[in-house]
Amino acid sequence: MRCAMSDYLVRRVQHLFWVLLAVSILVFLLIHLSGDPVRLLAPLDATPEDVERIRALYGLDQPLIVQYWRFLLNALQGDLGESFRYNQPALGMVLQKLPATIRLALFSLALTIVLGIPLGVWAGTRPNSAGDWVVSVLTFVGISIPSFWLGIMLILIFADRWRVLPSSGDATWRHMILPGITLSVYSIGLISRLVRSTLIETMQQDYVRTARAKGLPERLVLYRHALRNTMIPTVTVLGLQLGGLLGGSVVVESVFAWPGVGWLMLQGIQNRDLPLVRAVVLVIGLAFVIINFAVDLIYTRLDPRIRLDK
Amino acid sequence: MTATNPASSNRSASSLAARAVGPAAQSSPTDALRRSRRMVQRPAQFWVGLAIILFILVVAVFAEQLAPHDYTKQTLTMAMRPPAWMEGGDWSYPLGTDRLGRDLLSRLMVGARVSTAVGVFSVLLGGAIGIVLGMTAGYFGGWADRIITRLMDIQLSFPPVFLAIAIIAALGQSLTNLIVVLGLVSWVQYARVTRGQTLSLRGQEFVLAAQAIGVGTGRLLLRHLLPSVLPPLAVIATVNMSAMILNEAALSFLGLGVQPPTPAWGSMVAEGRAVMSVAWWNAVFPGAAIALFVIGGNLMGDGLTRRRR
């Protein structure tokens, strides 16, 4: 048992290594995908000599593999280069905006748990009823509408017409309500649909029938037996959704001018500030990878049957 | 689906192909009967979804003929007219006009083209990559399988929209780039299912028989295995199309999609947002169109998965 677990850990860490390698190569290449990176740096009227000087200054005259090696060494020391536009270390700028993004993602995750799970349980305990149907339709719409549009509609109604909630910025907790709802509607829909279908399946299991047969009240059957097993896939998807919420923040942050990393990335894109974009991608990528890793470990804790089977 | 001689395996494979390609392909009368029975058994949501998708496809193809106005024509005196049913509205501009006096309905119709093109072609590209890699991994096994499985794991470890945004930001904006990037970030699901299918079919008698009579590897994969691999991919493709349309809309909204003057629903929402407080219809209708399209795709996918109940 112990051995299987440590075997599993070794494989997961190996996997982590490959993913990080891939992310670093991608992030490195990003700056070269745009054609000649020097053109982004040099002023439009630069002489060919100037261009060559800039090329040499940034080490862009070296072979790609040498450039990558240097990038990797610097990145491992926390140096992701300077923003073209602000001449500040790109990593510092990203880390400064990261808390706002995490705050929004955690708030959305909390909304997903508090609303999505009860909704799914409620619908799953009365399958094919009118209430179940209403929840189904709502969650279906929830996973189908574009988040940026939902955000704009919320702004139109709550900020523009009724003027009850602020539409942009992050000054108070009330600023978090609209972006939080916008970001979490998709995962609320996803989670409640998952909980509903898993619960319906679980309620047909033998051990649920046994629990009922021994006269256990329905409430206890649900909470003590069925729900626990429903939570295994739910926790996994919730964990993955946290990564998704981080990724989805680019769109939502731009709608609500929420000053997080997504918003920073868009600034970087608009200014053709590729080192900044690169730093955001690397940080979010790392966060995503670490969250996935953690979810995997939690999953094995919850359900000992699961191992990385090959 | 067991066949003992290569001739019959060939026939059953082509009937599966016919099923995958649809009614247009050649098939025997019994096949047609079986197929029509299965079609009828599909739940209502499949048909509603299909109707929505077909409607949008027709609008996209005939946009220029159907549109009441030239979608680029600016009539500044008619700027920001409300929809026809509102006060100040005019039935010659059924859904109103934007801030340059362009007809919103016409722009919506032409905008359907970007969404459908990206939806269809990125799914085809992602599917093609996924099938090739999935079959290679499943059929040959060994180091090819190890590398491809590793690639799948790596791709799954990164949020696809985020990846698409980053790559487009570096590559630059165009319809081709949208399709290529969205295709590239979505191949994994197809590859996984294809790999699994290929693995389970590899040892079956019709494959062994084909190998025994010396059918070449390429032909074996294309004529014998591919037809059995395709049907389960249909569900993935339908749901994935919805996801691709959502992704395209998000990229267009962020200004990373097709550039003006070509209208795309996502960029129309962004433009409409600027004038939202005085002309809400500019932001509301394009977003509703996206939602309708995505709901159509999801309904179809839902219907396909529930087929057997």
* Per-chain mean pLDDT for chain B: 82
Most confident listed range (A16-20, B63-67, B95-99, B179-183): B179-183
Q: How far is A310 from chain B (nearest CA, A)?
A: 11
CA angle B48, B265, B96 (to 5 degrees): 95
Establish if B269 touches chain A: CB-CB under 8 angstroms: yes
**Identity of residue B213:** I
* Inter-residue contact B46 to B300 (CB < 8 Å): yes
Q: Which of B247, B178, B166, B168 is nearest to A277 (CA)?
A: B166
CA–CA dist B127, B132 (Å, integer): 9
| Tokens of residue B124, six digits | 């085809």
On the question of pLDDT at B33 being above 70, the answer is no
Task: Determine, for residues A149 and B290 on separate chains, whether the beta-carbon distance falls below 8 Å.
Answer: yes
Amino acid at B206: F
Residues of B in contact with A33 (CB under 8 A): 167, 170-171
Q: Which residues of B touch A153 (CB under 8 A)?
A: 283-284, 287
ipTM of the predicted assembly exceeds 0.90: no
Task: Using the predicted structure, report yes or no on whether residue A38 has a pLDDT greater than 80.
Answer: no
- B153 contact A CB<8A: yes
| Range of weakest confidence among A50-64, B97-111, B259-273 | A50-64
Tell me the nearest-neighbour CA distance from A223 into chain B, angstroms.
28
**Residue B303: pLDDT over 70:** yes
The C-alpha of A80 sits at a distance from chain B's nearest C-alpha, in angstroms, of 16
Q: Where is pLDDT greater, at B36 or B255?
A: B255
What does the alpha-carbon distance between residue B97 and residue B74 come to, in Å, rounded to a whole number?
10
φ and ψ at residue B103, rounded to 5 degrees: -70, 125
Q: What is the pLDDT, as a whole number, of residue A60?
A: 76
**CB of A42 less than 8 A from some CB of B:** no
Task: Inspect the interface and report whether the beta carbons of B255 and A148 lie closer than 8 Å.
Answer: no
Q: What percent of chain B has pLDDT over 70?
A: 86
> Is the pLDDT confidence value at A294 over 80?
yes
Within 8 A of B269 by CB-CB distance, chain A residues are 146, 148-149, 152
Number of Cβ pairs closer than 8 Å across A and B? Answer: 126
Of A148, A270, A289, the CB nearest to B269: A148
Chain A residues in contact with B154 by the CB 8 A cut-off are 18-19, 22
A93-140 residue pLDDT tens: 999 999 999 999 999 999 999 999 999 999 999 988 999 999 999 999
Q: Which chain A residue has its CA at the smallest distance from B248's CA?
A: A146
Please give the residue range of the domain that contains residue A105.
1-310
Position A145: which residue type? I
Lookup result for tokens 């969404």: B115
Q: Is 70 exceeded by the pLDDT of residue B257?
A: yes
Q: Per the CB < 8 Å rule, is A18 touching B290?
A: no
Q: Region B197-218: what's the mean pLDDT?
A: 88
Confidence of residue A3 (pLDDT cuts 50, 70, 90): low
Q: For chain A, how big is the Rg over CA atoms in Å?
A: 24
Whether the CB-CB separation of B100 and B76 falls below 8 Å is answered with: yes
Contact B102, B74 (CB under 8 A): yes
Considering chain B, what percentage of its residues have pLDDT values greater than 90?
A: 38
- pTM score: 0.85
Report whether the peptide linkage leading into residue B263 is cis, meaning its omega lies within 30 degrees of zero. Answer: no
Give me the percent of chain A exceeding a pLDDT of 70.
94
Q: What is the dihedral of CA A52, A57, A26, B115, to 10 degrees?
A: -50
Closest to A19 (Cβ–Cβ): which among B157, B253, B283? B157
What pLDDT score does B278 carry? 86
Residues 289-308 of B with CB under 8 A from A: 290-291, 294-295, 298-299, 302
Q: Which residue of chain B is at minimal alpha-carbon distance from A253?
A: B254
- Describe chain B by its helix, strand, coil percentages, rounded to 5: 70, 0, 25
Is B290 within 8 Å of A146 when comparing Cβ atoms?
Answer: yes
**pLDDT of amino acid B192:** 92
**Neighbour count for residue A76 (Cβ, 10 Å):** 9
More confident site: B241 or B24: B241
B157/A292 Cβ within 8 A? yes
Domain B111-309 sits in CATH at 1.10.3720.10
Residue A215 C-alpha, separation from nearest chain B C-alpha, in angstroms:
32
B24–chain A nearest CA distance, Å: 31
Residues of A in contact with B280 (CB under 8 A): 156
Q: Using a CB–CB cutoff of 8 Å, tell me whether B252 touches chain A.
A: no
Question: Residue B131's pLDDT band (boundaries 50, 70, 90)?
Answer: very high
Which residues in chain A are closer than 8 Å to B273, comparing Cβ atoms? 152
Residue B27 confidence class, pLDDT cut points 50, 70, 90: very low
From A26-30, B37-41, B88-92, B283-287, the region with the lowest mean pLDDT: B37-41
What is the total count of domains within chain A? 1
* Residues A245-267, mean pLDDT to the nearest whole number: 89
pLDDT of res. A150:
95
Would you say residue B68 has pLDDT above 70?
yes
Distance (Å, whole) CA B85 – CA B103: 15
> B249 to chain A nearest CA, in Å?
8
Query: What is the DSSP-derived secondary structure letter of residue B97?
Result: B
Residue B117 backbone zone (phi > 0: left; psi -120 to 50: alpha; other: beta)? alpha
Amino acid letter at B294? V
Q: How confident is the model at residue B3 (pLDDT cuts 50, 70, 90)?
A: very low
| Averaged pLDDT for residues B188-217 | 89
pLDDT score at B21: 38
Residue B2 burial by CB count (10 A; 0-12/13-18/19+): exposed, middle or buried? exposed
DSSP 8-state code for residue B3: -
For chain B, which residues make up each domain, given as ranges? 111-309
B284 and A CB contact within 8 Å? yes
Whether residues B161 and A284 touch (CB distance < 8 A) is answered with no
- The answer on pLDDT for B29 being more than 60 is no
CA distance B251 to chain A (A): 9
